[in-house]
Structure 1
Amino acid sequence: MKTTCYHCGDECNEHQKIEFDDKSFCCNGCKTVYEIFSLNDLTCYYDLQESPGATPLDIQGKYDYLDDESIIQKLLSFNDENVQIVELYIPHIHCSSCIWVLENLQKLQKGIVTAQVNFPKKSVRITYKVDQISLKEIVVLLSSIGYEPYISLEDYESGSKNVDRSLIYKLGLAGFAFGNVMLLSFPEYFEVNEFWLEKYKHTFRWLMFAFSIPVVVYAAQDYLISAYKGLRSKLLNIDVPIALGILVLFTRSAVEVLFDLGSGFFDSLTGLVFFLLLGKFFQQKTYNYLSFERDYKSYFPIAVTKVNKNGNEETIQIYKIEKGDRILIRNQELIPVDGILINGNAQIDYSFVTGEANPVQKKSGDKLFAGGKQLSGAIEIEAINSVEQSYLTQLWSNAVFEKDKTSKFTTITNKISKNFTIAILSIAALASMFWFFTDATKVLNVFTAVLIIACPCAIALAAPFTLGNMLRIFGKQKFYLKNATVIEQLAKVDTIVFDKTGTLTTRANSEVKYTGSVLSFNEEKALKATLRASNHPLSRTIYETMTKISLEKESQVFEHTGKGLQATVATVDVKVGSASFVKNEKEQFSSDTSVHVSIQNDYKGKFTLKNTYRKHVDEVFQTFSAYDLSVVSGDNEGEKVYLKKRLPENTTLLFNQKPEDKLAYVSQLQKKHKNVAMIGDGLNDAGALMQSEVGIAVSEDINVFSPACDAILDANQFEKLPKFIKATKQTMRVIQYCFIISLIYNSVGLYFAVTGQLYPVIAAILMPLSSISIVVFTTIATNILGKKL
């Protein structure tokens, strides 16, 4: 009797077999892995799939090169004094149990903080603490449990670029077998009862049997394995009825040939698998066409400030950053590219990358990593490479910012697929029982045709194709969504909360007037250096009017969120912000939009700004009149009368709101069972953006991207916001129409299958056609919606 390894499933050699804990292992490596799991209470790994592991390799001394610090630096995605992040390509990732064990690495080693698997890319992103574990120890650990990473220092990405052509090979094999089986079936079709059939009948049948074996064993294995794993996990997935149909056809045909009862259904069997794979190939190609490339160029319509050699500042697109460029990073801005700190007080918050909120102090000459957020004034860095494609996208999708914004529609889709499978199996069984007592010759055809024609693939495809195409269309319109779930969430929104400054207003054409004591030359330079560090729209507006004033670079600036700026510039103490912040009691209740200034704790005056609202703000709010609308602002009530005249009567206006007040307001609305969309500029709204069902950051030409948001809207497209939200509702309607089409198709197909008028091979042709029809319908429908935008 053959014995298989409890860990990896390979056959155990009787002479090398190792017995441990009443289990058999093929080698010491597999036994060691089992012991590691047992010691760390991870034996439930084996419950996910029988023999899920892989045989560990002899790795002694193999990774000694990872003791070299210069080599380690080439592999790391992030590195500071405490935390390092590495992304490793692991070819052996192949199933749910692989994902489970890799994402539980922190239970095997305390130094590992998190591990996130990217299943399509077969990679794992590991965050770990430097003082507790090294990269070499992590790689050795992975290899010891059967997941040896692929590491190539010359071309680290080459391993992940391998193209999976298995579907093409399976399709080719199935097509070859189907063509030959059809050819060999011709004598049977035409009932040739003379020389050819009598002499070669058995030869032809055995050849057809031989052609069908690789089709079932290799070409159809994905359906069989998927169904098997689903049943083991007590789940009825959409591959169960397909796999059952394939097995029934093959078993019945094999029995007929073996016992000389007939020619079997090898033509239907091979045709079924061929057309299933053809439909799958079409779906794959179409989906690859529809799904847009998630790179930083698409997602981030933001720009950074480049400091030229002559000291002048210019705004450039983020993807135009080149090695050696000097970049100005203001307070609360994200560092878009790895660089060296040139000057400034760097307090970097890497929580967007590592999840740890403690800011890191850096000095001139230190390396800064992309994804960090500057917390203390402005700094200048020198870029040491260009922006890495997709890095900021990965940052946007970091699990640190995941919250329970679950998609009810996805649940409904899965639920429909499950119930659909149960219903189809029941119909197939009842129809077979009926024909067994009526006309037993039709039982097999009816049973198989029902299972094939009613495959719920069309239902499963409706959502991803529709939402995927809309993501692409929105992206072209400069409305960038984090993922497809955001479309559904937007479709459910019934309450919209707007920030005012930087969202409804724009810095373009703003009028600035200064009233107060005349500032000296040194005081003006100190004020400009202070304003330079801030990203707040009012600060930027004033800063841009001070073009004739030279810049004092040496400064130490602290921004008090929602209040103002405090700085010391060349011994000059500056305060800029609200009246209460600069301690001007007389101006605290002023009705205009103003920024107050004090020098050496002596109140000097104020900059009065006349807000310029974005074009078509009135039309946007009138279009949203059916929603519950609110405007929350950190500014005073100076614009209240003006806004009341322009906005719908039911609009709630709140002023003097701190960031925590905005978050609390959104939370309060949600307690009233409202689905809230928060629309802000990403500066003081991060908490509210994350709390809301959908957080939309309006982006102009400044680097204020916040991973807390679910979508980024180019400020120039603000007037299209109502159309975007309307399009999400229409998108969900398209998916509902897909369900109706699929239901009609299945009802008609089942009628002909149950009444015995549909052969399995015809059903196999119609099944991918149904999927194709859904794809074509969703593509046309969503493109029509796109043209309306």
Structure 2
Amino acid sequence: MAINISKGDCFHCGLPNLEGDKYPVTILNNKHYMCCPGCQAVASTIVDNGLESYYEFRTEPAAKGDSALDNTMSKLAVYDEPELQEEFVFDSGKDKQIQLTVEGITCAACGWLIEKQLAKVSGVKQVAVNVGARRAMVTWNDDEIHLSQLLGKLKTIGYESLPFQADKHEASFQNEQKSYLKKLGLAGIMTMQVMMLAMAQYFDLFGDMDAETTRYFNWVSLVLTTPVVLYSGSVFYLSALKSTLAKTINMDISISIAILSTYIAGIITINQVDAEVYFESICMFVFFLLISRYLEQRTRHKANQISSNMLKHIPVTAFKWVDGELKSVLAKQLQVNDLVLVKAGEIIPVDGEITEGQATIDESMLTGEFESVEKQQGAQVYGGTINQLGVITIRVTTSLKYAMVNQILRLQETALANKPKVALMADKLSRHFGAIVLAFTAITYTFWYFQDGPNAFWIAISVLVATCPCALGLATPSALTCAMAKLNKGGILLKRADALEQLTEITDIVFDKTGTLTRGEFSIERAWFADDQQRDKLLSIATALEIRSEHPIAKAFAKLNINTKDEQIDDFSLSIGNGIAGKLNGHVYKLGSANFVNLTGCPPLANELDNATVILTKNDAVVAAFWLVDQIKSDVAAVLKKLKRYDTSILSGDSEKNVSFVAHKLGINNSYAQCTPSQKLTTIKTMQQQGKKVLMLGDGINDAPVLAAADVSLAVGNASDLAKNAADVILLNARLDSLSLVLAMADRTRRKIKQNMVWAIGYNVLVLPLAMAGFLTPWMAALGMSISSIIVVINSTRLLKD
């Protein structure tokens, strides 16, 4: 029968309510009053999760809530300050995005629980939890909900969270590791002691012990087991409680039931001489589980460090030019257009452009390429890279928050929000598997009970322990985390994790030519002018038009070093993939492909200039033409030999002659020349309608539409921002052999996930009948389950090796 709470006392904890009606909660259609915001928050959570019947059947008042909750929320409110958010909150269009360090994540079910709970909150647009890294990426609308409220929501479901900062995140991880080690150490010491007492009884080492001695040994074992159950095992109970409050089932529920049931059963039968107490099994169970969790956590952390450690390359301070003098400042305080001096041997503190000097830069931490890069005035440099030789002054182009290394880490986290189908299936299966395990446990106990089996209870416990789906929950996320870490180390960035799954289904690979198969370093091989006396003027106009473009062709004109200050272009327009137009001194100039300038309207010139790369017209009259050459990348031929199982094609806006030459030289099956962006898009869609799965590689603005339309897309080398935004995979280096690594890693990851799934499911299918038949004791079941999880994690970490 439920207890009665005296009028004037807190309805939740039963203590005197000195706050009157300040903290109300409606329970079972009646308004009740709590003594503090902590009790109000806990009671509200119970009501919101449909567990109001707790108040009907409880026999004792609940524990007092966090009376300092108001103070806690006021502390969290500081994160709503714009000045503080400037450091770690990113603007994502109309929404905001933040990466959080979340403490208390123990398994895949925790990640699922956080995602589901936050997804219900109004204003939250997307939640992605990386269980291995203990981080969450949250996108929200600040007009509907504030950051402090998000952090508060996580706190109410039992997870402490703070904005991700590399040093604090690492400190948080180390604290959790120390806590695990303390729990593990205590469990190990107590297990040895309890096992010695159990061995003495099992093997009768002290002779024929009388009942009094047996009871004495049992009581000593109980004393030694109690701290293991209450302290070392607390990590499982907390996780189970969070899951229960969220009305779901995770693997820690069955673990908690097994531990507490065995412990309580041992207490009940402790004075019975012939009864089994299994205190040693409890200790061993907790000990093995903690070893498994500790090793899992260490291994996944190692995989995540490959990416996360990039931030550790950023120096704390930088030398900034202030009124002609150098001043040491914090790197994170640098603003756009600040001038910073970087000496030889120093780490570049932030992304910027060289304004003075030249240097040899080691960019291996970004690209995976250990060959140094020569940088001249005007070149872009990135925070975290090393100035090996030379003294340079850089102008800051991006604040540290939006620097390349931070963008990489954000994209890594965002990628995990798009889980492959196999990952979603595994998550769903592991959650349902928990309910199936509980059902089989009940069936087993019922069967043995009615068979008058004396060990019905212990057999049921063995079933509960042996079939815990820990390995199943780890099968996919452990493999994906390791695969993404390995690719990241090689200078390959995945924007969505499910791209790995789709890469295994690719049938066709389509290449853009310029900048993808070729170097994209054009030079003008030949030029034609309608009037040679206007040669310099026309070159100046063509250069003035081209320098406004991001296309690699523009670099060929930039090399001419022509002064274009006198060429004031008005009404400038860019037709992506076609050409450029502008008005100069009342005349309309066009520079682009033959189709763009309508060369077909001039039959005599159409034949003469047929293979020209770009043509210049003045008021629709052809005045100049340019033939440009571009060399094929040195590694392309070797890469294509490894891709023989795919159908390959070139899709380019270049002339038929140039495209055919490259296709023939590289042995590429199909080629499509002089294509506009819309024609490229149509070609890709036609291939898809034929049932083909297309991987598209490109680097220019004109490639963005087809990159977005392809089944999987890859931006190569120094791609335009628009191409990177549309692509699913980004190569941070310009080498095409990274494509082979991506495809090979996709296949390896799929195999590892399948191996993990087969092992996890196979183990449970194999061990279930053994446990139900009574062949496994609880400690044997615990050992098998722990080894199963460790095997899955170790198998996944093999992806990190070459």
Q: TM-score, normalised by structure 2?
A: 0.70
Match of 1:272 in 2: 285
Amino acid at match of 2:554: S
The correspondence for 1:11, drawn from 10, 13, 16, is 13
Query: Does 2:172 align with 1:162?
Result: yes
Question: Which residue, 734, 738, 741 being the options, matches 2:752?
Answer: 734
What's the secondary structure of 1:685's corresponding residue? helix
Q: Deviation at 1:761?
A: 1.4
Change (3 A) 1:26 1:251: same
- Taking the aligned partners of 2:631 and 2:211, their CA distance within structure 1 comes to 92
Matched with 2:713 is 695
Matches for 1:499-518 after TM superposition, within 5 Å: 499-508=512-521, 512-516=525-529, 517-518=531-532
User: 1:533 is matched with which residue?
Assistant: 548
Q: Counterparts of 1:554 and 1:2 in 2: how far apart (Å)?
A: 89
| Structure 2 residue 675 is matched with structure 1 residue 662 | no
Conserved? CA contact 2:37–2:66, under 8 Å:
no
1:469 corresponds to: 482
- Give the AA of the match of 1:11: C
Could you tell me how far apart the structure 1 residues matched to 2:752 and 2:680 are?
35
Query: Residues 127, 193 of structure 1: CA spacing in aligned structure 2 closer, same or farther, 3 A cutoff?
Result: closer
Which of 596, 604, 610 does residue 623 from structure 2 map onto? Answer: 604
Partner amino acid, structure 1, of 2:295: F
Partner of 1:24: 32
Aligned equivalents of 1:680, 1:92: Cα separation in 2: 41
**Partner-residue secondary structure (3-state), 1:257:** coil
CA distance in 2, matches of 1:391, 1:536: 27
Shift of 1:270: 1.2
Q: Which runs of 5+ in 2 are unaligned?
A: 55-61, 314-331, 341-348, 356-382, 384-393
The superposition leaves residues 425-452 of structure 1 with CA deviations (integer Å, 9 ceiling, x where unpaired) of 5655555555546672343443333333
Does the residue aligned with 2:475 lie in a helix, a strand or coil? helix
* Residue of structure 1 aligned with 2:791, choices 773, 780, 784: 773
**2:633 — aligned with what?**
614
Question: Which residue of the partner structure matches residue 258 of structure 2?
Answer: 245
TM-score (norm 1): 0.71
> Is the Cα contact below 8 Å between 1:106 and 1:115 reproduced in 2?
no
Q: Which of 556, 562, 570 is residue 577 of structure 2 equivalent to?
A: 562
Q: Deviations over 1:437-489 (max 9, x none)?
A: 66723434433333333333333333333333333333344333235432222
Q: Distance in 1 between matches of 2:641 and 2:595?
A: 35
1:167-566 alignment runs, 5 A limit: 167-191=180-204, 200-227=213-240, 230=243, 235-257=248-270, 262=275, 264-294=277-307, 382-383=396-397, 385=399, 388=403, 390-393=405-408, 396=411, 407-417=420-430, 421=434, 424-425=437-438, 428=441, 432=445, 435-436=448-449, 440-508=453-521, 512-516=525-529, 517-518=531-532, 519=534, 521=536, 524-544=539-559, 546-547=560-561, 549-550=562-563, 552=565, 558-566=573-581
Q: Deviations over 1:724-751 (max 9, x none)?
A: 4244224322332344444554555456
Give 2:780's aligned residue.
762
- The 1-side partners of 2:161 and 2:241 are apart by 33
Hey, what's the Cα distance between the residues in 1 that align with 2:38 and 2:538? 72
* Shift, 1:122, TM fit: 6.6
Alignment equivalent of 2:743, drawn from 725, 741, 749: 725
Deviation readout 1:580-639 (Å, 9 max, x if unpaired): 444544367864251122468764312112343334645655654543444322334334
Give the 3 Å change call, closer, same or farther, for CA 9–509 of structure 1 in structure 2: farther
Distance 1:774 1:34 in 2: 37
Contact 2:717–2:733, Cα closer than 8 Å, also in 1: yes
Contact 1:48/1:97, CA 8 A, preserved across alignment: no
| C-alpha spacing 1:777/1:27, structure 2 compared with 1 (3 Å) | same
Q: Are 2:590 and 2:617, in contact at CA under 8 Å, matched by a contact in 1?
A: yes
State the Cα deviation string for residues 142-197 of structure 1 (Å, max 9, x = none): 699796999999x9975885333443333233224323322443542343677986
The percent identity for this pair of structures is 23
Assess if the C-alpha contact under 8 Å between 1:279 and 1:771 holds in 2: yes
DSSP 3-state at the match of 1:596: strand
- How far apart, in 2, do the equivalents of 1:278 and 1:619 lie? 46
Describe the SS at the equivalent of 2:269: helix
Q: Is the 8 A contact 2:479 2:797 kept in 1?
A: yes
Per-residue deviation, 1:210: 3.6
Q: Which consecutive residues of structure 1, in runs of 5 or more, have no partner in the other structure?
A: 108-112, 301-318, 328-335, 343-369, 371-379
Cα deviation, residue 525, structure 1: 4.3
Amino acid of the structure 2 residue aligned with 1:448: I
Alignment-mate amino acid for residue 172 of structure 2? N
Question: Mean Cα displacement is larger for which, 207-216 or 389-398?
Answer: 389-398
Residue 613 of structure 2, aligned match among 594, 600, 610? 594
Counterpart in 2 of 1:642?
A: 661
CA contact (8 A) 1:478 1:717 kept: no
Question: Bigger CA drift: 14-23 or 190-199?
Answer: 190-199
CA 1:46–1:64: 2 relative to 1, 3 Å:
closer
Going from structure 1 to structure 2, the CA distance change for 1:84 and 1:617 (only over 3 Å counts) comes to: closer
In 1, the alpha carbon distance for the partners of 2:70 and 2:306 equals 36
Moved more, 384-393 or 732-741: 384-393
Counterpart of 1:57 in structure 2 is 70
Say whether the 8 Å CA contact 1:552–1:569 is kept in structure 2: no
